[in-house]
Amino acid sequence: MPLEAPLAPVAERVAHLNERYRNHAAKAVLERALTDPQVGRIALVSSFGAESVVLLHMLSVLDRSAPVMFIDTQMLFPETLQYQTEVSEKLGLTDVRVIRARPAALAAHDPDGLLHRQSTDACCNLRKVEPMERALEGFDAWITGRKRFQGSTRAALDFFENEGDRRIKINPLAHWAPQDVQDYMINNRLPRHPLVAQGYPSIGCAPCTSKVAPGEDPRAGRWRDEDKEECGIHFINGKVVRGPLPKGDAA
């Protein structure tokens, strides 16, 4: 068999993909991402959180065998672990990979499981960023469920992003509004995360997620009272966000 042609630089491919698929709908963007040779080897990363089932369902319709990375920080709500199993089985996903931090790393840096009290950034790096980086080695692109309405750091989100000139990050739901998410879940009769009904519209690790009052931003319960919006696995302007966002970088 002939060898595959090397991929063009990430920035060049991202610009071309955004131009080519600018007016496509979410499902079409996902389908193209799974099949376009410019994207390369691809995986979906899912938290199995409040809205994750939408993208997981789309993927199951297009390719149930596509790799799905689930980062188990070992500090998740029990309800999230149960939901992950339920959704994976219901959708027939055949390649869900549970990603965790190395035991040696946890023993060295967080033996008592209390690192989040000292530094949420360090805890996220240990339990999310490093394990995910390991899991994505060998992949050229990954799919996320991020949307523009989810906060200032996501307000200008494109379908395709350049992640540090190393990989392409794909956001098929970037242009969706909150009602689009709810409508899709209702129309496809998708199971809800059990914590949503209890006042958790955005769900992360148990120690760093609190209930959200009516009228609050849905992500207000994530790292409450901290100058922090992202866990560190997402990039802005090609730079990983692991701490408070510098002023002016939210555009």
What distance, in Å, lies between the first and last C-alpha atoms of the chain? 46
Residue 200 near residue 49, CB atoms below 8 Å: no
Classified as helix, coil or strand, 195 is coil
* Catalytic residue flag (residue 231): yes
Distance CA 42, CA 5 (A): 17
Tell me the residue type at 218: P
77, 195 Cβ separation under 8 angstroms: yes
Decide if 161 contacts 174 (C-beta within 8 A): no
C-alpha distances (whole Å) from 155 to each of 121, 168, 174, 177, 251 are 22, 18, 9, 12, 7
Question: What's the CA gap between 165 and 212, in Å, rounded?
Answer: 36
Which neighbouring-strand residues pair with 141? 42, 168
List 123, 124, 208, 231, catalytic entry: 231
Active-site annotation, residues: 231
